[in-house]
Structure 1
């Protein structure tokens, strides 16, 4: 059985607020990175490598600046909540914006 310090370690409304703020950051940055990839004309694996590189930079900034290097204080799963889990969720938004911007800029040349 878990001890009392583990049960009361995270206050649920605060954790939910942090998760919502993190979700907003990830969504907006995936749109921005998708726009940049589309305008730069990245295609194929180059676009996915660009996404992973930007994702690593953004997650590092969130972990270092916003969490102060201690994501376990703000999220239940720590760094996994910041960098790992939402990556696949925002990948779809990234691909949508990436292809839209690429089509708008390069198809009608």
Structure 2
């Protein structure tokens, strides 16, 4: 774990925590939608994970354009936007992919 930057005292901890919670909520919802789409489309194996990777890149590009002054709102800048929460979102993606794939394609 990297130590916080020297100007970390400029950030309000409550606001940083709120931003992190909002990002986690956005990522979870987006992963659920992407997993549902992949399950309905019947994407499995490598194509399913490629779909997750593409959707993750799309989500992060949207977040980076909307939060263009991320240095102002996040202590670690773009690292918080791009990398934090990737595994949690992957678990949500797999959950919804499995659910919708089972409902749509398993009993055909």
Report the TM-score when normalising by structure 2: 0.90
Structure 2: where are the runs of 5+ without partners?
1-5
Aligned to 1:16: 17
Aligned to 1:53: 54
Structure 1: where are the runs of 5+ without partners?
none
Structure 1 runs of 4+ aligned residues shifted over 4 Å read none
CA RMSD of aligned residues (A): 1.2
Matches within 5 A, 1:47-86: 47-65=48-66, 67-68=67-68, 70-86=69-85
Distance 1:7 1:84 in 2: 20
User: How far 1:58 sits from its partner (Å)?
Assistant: 0.6
Report the TM-score when normalising by structure 1: 0.89
Aligned to 2:7: 6
Aligned to 1:28: 29
Distance 2:17 2:8 in 1: 16
Q: In the comparison of the two structures, how many residue pairs are matched?
A: 103
SS at match of 1:8: helix
